Structure 1
């Protein structure tokens, strides 16, 4: 059996291996058996999902697999991914499950797992679960089959938790906010939270139909929201993705910011307040060199990890750091949450606007970016482009060309069949030539 788990759980096209109901049932049984072996007497799992049509199918299949091994299932319905991390811990569950393919199109879906501490499972635990999927597990005796129950107030609990991270006595009165919920999991909770704090909310992407999640909207398609910001004279735009664990911010002029600028803002602010633990920010290899230079200039460090917010969180936990994230908009603040939380990060940005009395355009321009270019090459299953001799030679030459003045990053996506070629260099035209040389080699290898 091919490897199930990628950089963020199991993910793929619905009804095509591995994202089939049969496989979801087997995964549910395997993970249920794994967590029932801890010797505790109470076995409970919470399941959340985003708004994809296939979510119903996977919710039922996972529930069947989990209850067959004696797990009691608490069904949250559509909630953001960070809500699952929160409620897993607060409801004293053994396990949390989120059914979502995050920013991917509606035809994809995925399954993410959280441990009893609310953090995503480690690679080693996922490997053990994968072995159980391959070998199969014995079901529980008939008398020990688990129960399933709907939890109706999960999203309200989450809204209150997110609001509790907002400064006490501060309000958002007079602040006009375009809020794009990507027709996803936050289509109810995000507008409610901002409205309750006093913002004038202009909502978008709040009419999910099962097939329009992330479609021309949300953090991966912020252009419509940018146009709305300008058209309505809004102060800021907040774009979430399908499961609301990432955020992209837009200033009052319609300019799109990214996670690096936001992390720079928060790291500098927290350092001033002596709140930045370890004097460091944790980000991935994709974050811009400009961010690293910005931090170094303030006596702070940038700790880099592999791509994926779970790797960011693992490094944060290992080093005792409390701020991290990704350029793509995953922002992790472990003082408040166990995973990336787009809504929470958006609220922290709004709080800084109110506190500093500065426009979004100023706050999202913390440093000058080093020119960066990313190009993707799609390949078919079974192909190994990064093992091709010509590709390896092209990469070696590109690294030599960029040495001293920039950097090159080549990696295979953990969620899609893509080779990602990224480079940074002060000379943008030269950088593009170097990237194109590698892209051409990869494209030749996958023909």
Structure 2
């Protein structure tokens, strides 16, 4: 069953433009409520978290109305990181978890992400069934069975305690100066508090959300602000989160950035040494650098690649029984601790390695030499299908022929934004640039 509303990470778009309207959110809430309340009787719960976007109030209320209309009781967490919803859904014995966030997108966008009762994101099949219910319409519950809604004031603190429990027992961050950039997003309170409670001297950045400044010149997609703060304050490390805190970038003491691939390489090597890396396998997407794969091969470890999207990484991890995975963009998934990517948790793992080894962040931030990689994005309008244009298909075929045996080429539509992403890797940087430029030129002409 094909999905029309759902992308790689829930429903996402510009607020007040289809599908991200209040009326659609009400319909989505009603459909999700009906889907998870198929068996009558008993208490049915859903937990809802959100980031700091202005439109979050609107979607929170609309979803609550839809859910309670089908008899679901709604527990409102307020602003919390996405992984907190994954944690608290099973902890609070809820049937469903919802996170209202567009992650790394600008403030005018928003999204609705779903978690099942086990705390993991829903499958494509479950999302397709919810879409079918939206199309068919949902009969409301009898007046006597309408659900209730209540605020949960300690959800953030429950999450913080869980995050701290993943840091080695007895280890402290005394003497460690840490810049933490919360992107004016969901972790603006949780992240600085966790680091301070573990003993760090905290320099907070991006902790003044106003509803419209989430991810604005800060966070994991704009790490320059944190890098400047690291250098200016003489900090040992910078931890850059995105708007819903499920991604992280690490800034070393010189201001250099380590992406998700470098973080995964460090963790995979360490976990392998400790006998913790299940089946010697790391799971990552097709976007991860070839250098990461070579790094793992040299250590007798294996890279399992998936489609783009942290939920596909998690699905592969669950199928294979593997416990470490993620994305180059900074999702780091550790299923021993969490059901989804957790930027703060991954940052603590990096800090623990610094404390354990006594090495500076820069010594740990460059586990492998990346193969030259170039990524270009082309924005397109609704209804356009540039990848179906003959000239674009010809340019892609020519690029693949030129790259054959010398590198790799990946062209795909983003699942979270109206973008065509053109990525290539090649040791020959001149060829790399030529191939990407020729394809981008054809796509741009077709939109």
TM score, norm. by length of structure 1: 0.99
How many residue pairs get matched? 446
Question: Equivalent residue of 1:146, what SS?
Answer: coil
Cα distance in 2, alignment partners of residues 126 and 278 from structure 1: 31
Partner of 1:174: 175
Partner of 1:125: 126
Cα distance in 1, alignment partners of residues 42 and 279 from structure 2: 39
Structure 1 residue 324 and structure 2 residue 331: aligned? no
Query: Please, which runs of 5 or more residues in structure 1 have no aligned partner?
Result: none
Question: Equivalent residue of 1:152, what SS?
Answer: coil
Aligned 1:426-445 pairs, distance under 5 A: 426-445=427-446
Query: Are residues 113 and 40 of structure 1, via their aligned partners in 2, closer, same or farther at CA, if it must alter by over 3 Å?
Result: farther
Partner of 1:114: 115
Question: Equivalent residue of 1:271, what SS?
Answer: helix
The 8 Å contact of residues 3 and 127 in structure 2, kept in 1 or not, is answered as no
Cα distance in 2, alignment partners of residues 251 and 62 from structure 1: 41
Cα distance in 1, alignment partners of residues 104 and 436 from structure 2: 25
Structure 1 residue 282 and structure 2 residue 283: aligned? yes
CA drift at 1:278: 1.6
The 8 Å contact of residues 281 and 304 in structure 2, kept in 1 or not, is answered as yes
Alignment deviations for residues 217-260 of structure 1 (CA, whole Å, 9 cap, x no partner): 00000001101101111000000000000000000000011000
Alignment deviations for residues 385-405 of structure 1 (CA, whole Å, 9 cap, x no partner): 111111111111101111112
Cα distance in 2, alignment partners of residues 377 and 151 from structure 1: 42
The 8 Å contact of residues 8 and 416 in structure 2, kept in 1 or not, is answered as yes
The 8 Å contact of residues 3 and 131 in structure 2, kept in 1 or not, is answered as no
Question: Equivalent residue of 2:48, what SS?
Answer: strand
Cα distance in 2, alignment partners of residues 250 and 430 from structure 1: 30
The 8 Å contact of residues 185 and 242 in structure 2, kept in 1 or not, is answered as yes
Cα distance in 2, alignment partners of residues 40 and 7 from structure 1: 33
Cα distance in 1, alignment partners of residues 40 and 277 from structure 2: 38
Partner of 2:416: 415
Query: Please, which runs of 5 or more residues in structure 2 have no aligned partner?
Result: none
Runs in 1 of length 4+ with deviation above 6 angstroms?
Answer: none
Partner of 2:402: 401
Alignment deviations for residues 52-92 of structure 1 (CA, whole Å, 9 cap, x no partner): 00000000000000000000000000000000000001001
Aligned 1:287-326 pairs, distance under 5 A: 287-326=288-327
Partner of 1:192: 193
CA drift at 1:3: 1.0
Cα distance in 1, alignment partners of residues 351 and 157 from structure 2: 21
Cα distance in 2, alignment partners of residues 40 and 111 from structure 1: 27
Question: Equivalent residue of 1:74, what SS?
Answer: strand
The 8 Å contact of residues 3 and 128 in structure 2, kept in 1 or not, is answered as no
Question: Equivalent residue of 1:202, what SS?
Answer: strand
Cα distance in 2, alignment partners of residues 434 and 44 from structure 1: 51
CA drift at 1:429: 1.6
Partner of 2:387: 386
Partner of 2:345: 344
Cα distance in 2, alignment partners of residues 338 and 118 from structure 1: 6
Cα distance in 1, alignment partners of residues 394 and 39 from structure 2: 49
